[in-house]
Amino acid sequence: MINIKLKDGSQREYPSGISLLQVVEEISPKLAKNAVAALFNGQITDLNAVIKQDGSLEVLDFEDDRARNVYRHSSSHVMAQAVQRLWPGSKLAIGPAIDKGFYYDFDSKHSFTPDDYKLIEDEMNKIIKADYPIVRREMDREEAIKFFKEKNEDYKVELIEDLPEDAAISFYQQGEFVDLCAGPHIPSTGRLKAIKIMSLAGAYWRGSEKNPMLQRIYATSFPKKAMLDDYLFKLEEAKKRDHRRLGRELGLFVLLDEGPGFPFFLPKGMILRNELENFWREEHRKAGYQEIRTPIILNRELWERSGHWDHYKDNMYYTNIDEDEYNIKPMNCPGGMLVYKQNLHSYRELPLRVGEMGLVHRHEMSGVLHGLMRVRAFTQDDAHIFMLPEQIISEIKGVIDLVDRFYSLFGFPYHVELSTRPEDSMGSEEIWDMATETLIKALDEKGIKYKVNEGDGAFYGPKIDFHLQDSLDRTWQCGTIQLDFQMPEKFDLSYIGEDGEKHRPVMIHRVIYGSIERFIGILTEHFAGAFPAWLAPVQVRVLPITQRHHDYAQSVTESLQAAGIRAEADYRSEKTGYKIREGQMQKIPYLLVLGDREVEENMVAVRHRKQGDMGSKGIEEFKTMILEEIASKSL
């Protein structure tokens, strides 16, 4: 008999040789129905796996990222099986799970087109309906090479030959289909439910243009049709909300060939940007930050001292001044170090919180540029906090509270990830361990759940990243908190302690928006351009019905503007319905229609962007209403 410890701490006894799926079915048939894979003794494992030893068991369903990858990787095998049934002789390359779906690369004499999508989906559904068990087997190296050579699977043979001599070669079989694979997989093809072929692309084998060009089929899968329908709806909605299109249509920003990766902000876009910056400044003033500005061009020696040269030189722009080499800054932190060094600091001054809206430039390849989401010049809302060692946890918690204030205001749920020491890090393992443990303690004290990203920290310290979720359920990494013991050492930063001696401060690097440009792109898509009134470039548009209402429209507009409301009037001789539709297309929060009755009664007929006709209101009543909405920053 073997003992299995469950996630809730309870233990159960089973006969040796039982499968994990049988264990889960015994615990709960419903749990087994939704199960995708298992975490057994810390390893992601097939539910079909037979166990002969004691262990801990956690059952993973589709909501778990790891299980979702298993589900979709199994889907890729089903797609490959369907393709080989439809077009015999098609050779298999690789078929991994990716974010939101999966793909498989094929070397086929048949040229795939969108007309093939339904054929492949229908064949996949036949395989799903057949509910083939997905069985894992192992071979030795020579046997595996011989097996795949006989099947004419050249790419699989190459993959096997690149494996270590003593590696166990595993493969999975479902029906007549066999694929080289480390696994794990779902128990049977019938566990798959809703599948959809998404697109086609070309891809060089192993990413090298020296190798054959393969045909890549992208697809996705979900355990429920409703989940697939929701995903497809949000994909279509995302196309409608594309910030690049909305940026042009709403007059916010443009990306031009004359400056690829360098956005141009238009007057309305600057209003939006300035409101975001004004809010940032006000909240940081309240939180005890001082604002600075540092130059965008600094001497190369500074970047060598900071470590950025060794870790970042390929992403930096260069220039020569007076025969010396200078760099356009890709980050703001070295400038912040120099500002700190301009004064002798006492322990009584710490923590010192210094913020900067700093313009940075990074060299990005043209192929990865994407609207405001990936640019070459952007403004980071950087801040650097210099503190005593005993202040670290309270300062981290303070930043977490500030991040929460910002994201909650915009209606963004978020999750947190902790990134640890990367391979190209600076500093000792001991310091890294201490820094990482400190971040963990701060998160634990705040009661925040987090995911660990091993080896994904900054080169100078571990970090906490905030991934916000928009209205289409997409996630964006924006805010970050990086704990740094390295930069203060490299720049010889110090403070005078209570003992009158010099001591080394600890510092935090942090951003909340991340990049103002990218945050505006995210907000534009999140709100579909219909920004809350406090952010909207035009908050009110006044629509006189005929020319005889123009004088009254002008007085209403001037009255609103005098109250600090961003208002404009549309005096064109177009039909009122046309003007209303255009105002709605421009996503303006309030339209005020003025006719004879409104002039006579000194009123305005109010139309809200979402609520529609709100009836007539007195001018002062309307001003009070919208000013309260703006002041409260209501969504």
- pLDDT score recorded for residue 225: 95
What's the N-to-C CA distance of the chain in angstroms? 59
Provide mean pLDDT across the span 1-20.
Answer: 87
**What pLDDT was estimated at residue 460?**
75
Under the banding of pLDDT at 50, 70 and 90, the label for residue 485 is confident
- What is residue 192's predicted lDDT score, i.e. its pLDDT? 96
Considering the entire predicted model, what is its pTM? Answer: 0.82
Nearest to 396 by CA among 450, 348, 476: 450
- Residue among 417, 274, 434, 462 at smallest CA distance from 357: 274
Q: Which of 93-102, 297-306, 352-361, 422-431 shows the lowest mean pLDDT across its residues?
A: 422-431
233 vs 84: CA distance, rounded Å: 30
Catalytic residue among 191, 273, 421, 463: 463
pLDDT in tens, 171-205: 999 999 999 999 899 999 999 999 999 999 999 99
Residue 122 falls in the annotated catalytic set: no
> Is there a catalytic annotation at residue 382?
yes
Q: Residue range 547-568: average pLDDT?
A: 96
Task: Pull the structure tokens for residue 76.
Answer: 């890729």
Distance between CA atoms of residues 606 and 556, nearest Å: 13
pLDDT at 490 over 80: yes
The catalytic position among 68, 384, 579, 587 is: 384
What pLDDT band is residue 424 in, cutting at 50, 70 and 90?
confident
Q: How confident is the model at residue 605 (pLDDT cuts 50, 70, 90)?
A: very high
pLDDT of residue 313: 83
Catalytic position from the list 333, 566, 579, 586: 333
- Average pLDDT of the chain, as a whole number: 93
**Catalytically annotated residue among 509, 510, 579, 607:** 509
Query: Is-catalytic flag, 441?
Result: no
Provide φ and ψ at 171, rounded to 5°. -145, 160
**Does 333 participate in catalysis according to the annotation?**
yes
Give the mean model confidence (pLDDT) for residues 558-575. 95
Residue 283, Cβ density class (10 Å: 0-12 exposed, 13-18 middle, ≥19 buried): middle
Q: Which residues of 601-626 are buried (b: 16+ CB within 10 A; e: fewer)?
A: eebbbbbebeeeeeebbebeebbeeb
Distance CA 80, CA 95 (A): 8
Mean pLDDT, range 220-224, rounded to an integer: 96
Range in 125-134, 306-315, 336-345, 523-532 the model is least confident about = 306-315
Give residue 114's pLDDT. Answer: 96
User: Which three-class secondary structure string do you get for 6-53?
Assistant: ECCCCEEEECCCEEHHHHHHHHCHHHHHHEEEEEECCEEECCCCEECC
Residue from 634, 633, 522 nearest 247 by CA: 522
- Is residue 575 among the annotated active site residues? no
pLDDT grade, residue 633 (50/70/90)? very high
* Pick from 5-9, 79-83, 185-189, 197-201: least confident: 5-9
The full set of domains in the chain, from first to last, is: 2-61 (3.10.20.30), 66-237 (3.30.980.10), 247-526 (3.30.930.10), 540-631 (3.40.50.800)
When pLDDT is averaged across residues 511-536 and rounded to a whole number, the result is: 96
Average pLDDT over residues 212-220: 96
Per annotation, catalytic residue among 381, 382, 465, 484: 382
Residue corresponding to tokens 């699989």:
156
CB of 75 closer than 8 Å to CB of 98: no
Question: How many C-alpha atoms does 391 have within 13 Å on its Cβ side?
Answer: 18
Residue 384 pLDDT more than 90?
yes
pLDDT tens readout for residues 225-246: 999 999 999 999 999 999 999 9
Residue 137 · residue 170 · CB < 8 Å: yes
463 in catalytic set: yes
Q: Identify the band that residue 423 occupies on the pLDDT scale cut at 50, 70 and 90.
A: confident
Concatenate the DSSP letters of all residues of 252-269 into one string: SEE--TTSTT--EE-HHH
Nearest to 308 by CA among 508, 460, 482: 460
State the pLDDT at residue 166. 77
d(CA 624, CA 542): 17
Would you say residue 381 has pLDDT above 80?
yes
In degrees, rounded to 5, the angle at the alpha carbon of residue 476 between the alpha carbons of residues 471 and 479 is 120
Tokens of 614: 């709100």
- E strand or H helix at 123: helix 117-130
Tell me what pLDDT residue 314 has: 85
- State the pLDDT at residue 2: 87
